[in-house]
């Protein structure tokens, strides 16, 4: 007689197989068809031809400026005369594609084994288990005890050795890193992780990597102990340099930390200073705040500037939690003021911009916001207008506009979309002229500080604009509104002067990677650090085998362009820019001239210099070199 537990296991197994089959049918192309066609040599693949250097794609543009000759009248769209390629286009090895699939959809060990068994039953040569497919490390790691949890140090040297073959790193004469430290909750019982992340400032296509990680039911009890391995390694590498093998050559490169990019709560912990709600909480100038309506309010003016010497000498003892050296202060040569940055993501987007919208939309029930608050009718109109802009926002933006009714759920990227792009449209249409002019101070300053290679005079102008913005802020939002984030706008421009534009000193890339870390961990919250170690090792293996395909066959147009062969709708470039003839991503500037992309065309699948002269004023670019 079958026990109820056996029956239950069989039911679970059946559901798991059904789930696997559904995912497999939805996301995998007919692999067997691909194999058969490849063996018989009948796959007509223009993408493969292009990858092998036999073709250079052409981009067809329609000029948008007035006065140019109109686009010639075309015949009704017909199917291409060229044989349509098979649905299975990829020349990427099957094992690698499966590994990507398993990793992307986070299939469990059991689900992966079941999937591989299905493929093996079809006669395909694939591994038997997830460990072999993803080359999961078989060596177990033992974390060290770090009250009230545990910690593992992956190491800067070890992490960079795995990245040394990257062409960007191979050309570096010096290793400079940005560092982020923050907490991430991973369970409802309070369990969290505190990873130490690093990234290359000017090689943004290289993902951040993990230097070390703590996990426990609470944050580390002693941040000095938590940071000890990290600080020790940084001091050693700073003094002796870092040894990397690049190709057949082993080189010793200079090493340094460029900047710590953290939110204020994390900064106060790793620096051993008081928090942002303290009266002495400004990290850049000496001043004493006031408590108004249970809020710490700072001055609209810059106080006596702090510097590394005054910080280490404890000239303002009320600013420090302890009067002895602690945290990252133990890093030799680190400037505790200049090299501990102001993060625009938390300070500007999640701080100031959110406060502006809450005040304008009546989300904050405090006296003093009446000068900025819209009427109920205008709030509804503004919300409707803002969400109506969504169809016109390109896919370069992570999120599109949605109604202000969902303001409490807005993410940092949505606040950035408002303060740096669309907000000026809303304020112009619905707010008073004075309030619109006030917002323009903030908008223009953010745009200036986000420019590439911003000249010093523009940075100085942005500093003046932010100073005026902060001065007027309490007039519209109340005396209690000059909180830490608003005050920190007075110090923002100096970091742009030192390190580059706002996108280069923001925590966005680290926050995105933190969510990736969270996705690495299974619902069974045990052996957290071992799971993280294995997933990171698998990602490193996949990265080494990565194959970039620029023109996507998935979005093929069913027509010819100007007598060309296959025409493609979408093209992605090395810098992750996507241009697509989809009505949203089809407008570009070429030499300052607006143009509309009609598609990406192939001409006879032969290598040639692109020359497209019709419609009048059109241009062409090479797909790859």
Identify the top-confidence range among 36-50, 146-160, 531-545: 146-160
In this predicted structure, the answer to whether residue 261 has a pLDDT above a threshold of 60 is yes
Give the range among 221-235, 291-305, 589-603 with minimum mean pLDDT.
Answer: 589-603
Please check whether residue 235 is in contact with residue 281, taking contact to mean a CB–CB distance below 8 angstroms. Answer: no
pLDDT at 35: 37
464 — pLDDT class (breaks 50, 70, 90): very high
Question: Which residues 6+ apart lie within 8 Å of 461 measured at CB?
Answer: 448
Token reading at 258: 């460029």
Q: What is the DSSP letter of 339?
A: T
pLDDT at 162: 77
Question: Can you count the helices (H) and strands (E) in the chain?
Answer: 21, 19
**Alpha-carbon torsion, ordered 274, 280, 281, 284, to 10 deg:** -120
The separation between the first and the last C-alpha atoms of the chain, rounded to the nearest angstrom, is 68
Please give the full DSSP string across 73-116, using - where no structure is assigned: P-PPP---SSPPPPS----S-HHHHHHHHHHHTT--HHHHHHHH
Partner residues linked to 181 by β-bridges: 196
Spell out a b/e string for 193-204, using b for 16 or more CB atoms within 10 Å of the CB, else e: bbbbbbbbeeeb
In this predicted structure, the answer to whether residue 607 has a pLDDT above a threshold of 90 is no
Helices (H), ranges, 505-589: 508-520, 528-544
Sort strands 556-557 and 285-286 into parallel, antiparallel or unpaired: unpaired
How many angstroms separate the CA atoms of 594 and 577, rounded? Answer: 17
Helices (H), ranges, 138-186: 156-163, 167-170
Identify the top-confidence range among 40-54, 73-87, 589-603: 589-603
Which of the two residues, 547 and 473, has the higher pLDDT score? 473
Token reading at 274: 């008081």
Sign of the torsion angle spanned by Cα atoms 563, 564, 570, 575:
negative
212 — pLDDT class (breaks 50, 70, 90): very high
Token reading at 382: 């503004």
Number of Cβ within 10 Å of residue 351's Cβ equals 24
Is the backbone of residue 605 left (phi > 0), alpha (psi -120 to 50) or beta?
A: left
pLDDT tens string 453-462: 889 999 999 9
Give the range among 3-7, 92-96, 405-409 with minimum mean pLDDT.
Answer: 3-7
pLDDT at 551: 40
pTM: 0.78
In this predicted structure, the answer to whether residue 394 has a pLDDT above a threshold of 90 is no
Please give the full DSSP string across 183-219, using - where no structure is assigned: -EE-STTS-EEEEEEEE-TT-TTSPPEEEEEEEESSS
pLDDT at 13: 59
618 — pLDDT class (breaks 50, 70, 90): very low
Nearest to 231 by CA among 270, 267, 285: 270
Question: Which residues 6+ apart lie within 8 Å of 13 measured at CB?
Answer: none
pLDDT at 86: 43
For the chain, give every domain's residue range. 49-83+547-625, 144-340+519-543, 344-504
Which of the two residues, 358 and 554, has the higher pLDDT score? 358
Give the range among 62-76, 163-177, 597-611 with minimum mean pLDDT.
Answer: 62-76
pLDDT at 189: 87
pLDDT at 567: 62
pLDDT tens string 290-336: 998 889 999 999 999 999 999 999 999 999 998 889 999 999 999 99
Q: What integer best gives the mean pLDDT of the chain?
A: 80
Identify the top-confidence range among 11-20, 363-372, 478-487: 478-487
How many angstroms separate the CA atoms of 338 and 322, rounded? Answer: 20
């Amino acid at each position: 007689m079958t026990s109820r537990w056996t029956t239950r296991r069989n039911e679970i197994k059946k559901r798991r197989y059904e789930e696997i089959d559904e995912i497999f049918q939805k996301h995998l192309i007919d692999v067997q068809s691909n194999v058969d066609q490849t063996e018989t040599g009948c796959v007509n693949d223009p993408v493969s031809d292009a990858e092998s250097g036999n073709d250079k794609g052409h981009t067809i543009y329609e000029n948008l400026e007035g006065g140019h000759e109109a686009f010639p009248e075309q015949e009704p769209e017909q199917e291409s005369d060229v044989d349509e390629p098979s649905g299975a286009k990829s020349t990427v090895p099957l094992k690698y594609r499966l590994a990507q699939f398993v990793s992307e959809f986070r299939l469990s060990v059991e689900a992966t084994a079941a999937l591989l068994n299905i493929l093996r039953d079809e006669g395909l040569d694939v591994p038997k288990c997830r460990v072999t497919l993803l080359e999961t490390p078989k060596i177990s790691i033992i974390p060290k005890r770090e009250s009230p949890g545990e910690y593992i140090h992956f190491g800067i040297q070890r992490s960079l050795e795995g990245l040394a073959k990257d062409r960007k790193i191979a050309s570096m004469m010096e290793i400079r890193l940005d560092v982020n430290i923050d907490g991430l909750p991973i369970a409802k019982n309070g369990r969290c992780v505190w990873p130490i992340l690093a990234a290359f400032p000017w090689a943004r296509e290289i993902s951040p990597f993990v230097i070390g990680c703590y996990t426990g039911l609470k944050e580390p009890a002693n941040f000095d102990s938590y940071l000890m391995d990290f600080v020790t390694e940084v001091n050693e590498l700073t003094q002796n340099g870092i040894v990397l093998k690049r190709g057949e050559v082993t080189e010793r490169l200079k090493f340094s930390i460029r900047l710590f990019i953290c939110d204020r709560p994390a900064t106060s912990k790793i620096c051993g200073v008081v928090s942002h709600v303290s009266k002495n909480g400004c990290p850049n100038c000496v001043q004493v705040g006031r408590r108004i309506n249970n809020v710490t309010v700072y001055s609209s003016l810059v106080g006596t500037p702090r510097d590394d010497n005054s910080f280490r000498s404890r000239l303002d003892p009320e600013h420090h939690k302890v009067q002895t050296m602690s945290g990252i202060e133990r890093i030799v040569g680190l400037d505790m003021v200049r090299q501990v940055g102001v993060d625009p993501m938390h300070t500007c987007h999640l701080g100031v911009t959110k406060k502006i919208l809450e005040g304008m939309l009546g989300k904050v029930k405090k006296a003093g916001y009446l000068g900025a608050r819209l009427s109920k009718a205008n709030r509804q109109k503004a919300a409707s207008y803002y969400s109506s802009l969504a169809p016109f926002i390109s896919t370069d933006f992570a999120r599109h506009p949605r109604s202000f009714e969902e303001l409490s759920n807005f993410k940092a990227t949505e606040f950035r979309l408002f303060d740096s792009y669309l907000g000026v449209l809303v304020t112009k249409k619905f707010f008073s002229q004075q309030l619109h002019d006030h917002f323009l101070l903030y908008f223009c300053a953010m745009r200036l500080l986000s420019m590439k290679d911003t000249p010093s005079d523009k940075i100085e102008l942005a500093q003046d604009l932010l100073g005026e913005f902060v001065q007027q802020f309490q007039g519209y939002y109340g005396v209690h509104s000059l909180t830490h984030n608003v005050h920190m706008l007075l110090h923002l421009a100096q970091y742009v002067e030192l390190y580059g534009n706002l996108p280069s000193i923001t925590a966005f890339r680290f926050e995105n990677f933190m969510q990736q870390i969270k996705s690495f961990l299974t619902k069974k919250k045990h052996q957290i650090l071992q799971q993280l170690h294995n997933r990171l090792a698998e990602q490193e293996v996949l990265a080494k085998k990565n194959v970039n395909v620029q023109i996507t066959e998935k979005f093929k147009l069913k027509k010819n362009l100007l007598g060309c062969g296959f025409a493609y709708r979408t093209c992605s470039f090395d810098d992750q820019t996507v241009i697509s003839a989809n009505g949203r991503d089809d407008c570009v500037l070429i030499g300052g001239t607006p143009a509309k992309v009609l598609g990406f065309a192939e001409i006879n699948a032969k290598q040639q210099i692109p020359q497209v002269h019709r419609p009048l004023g059109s241009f062409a670019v090479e797909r790859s070199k």
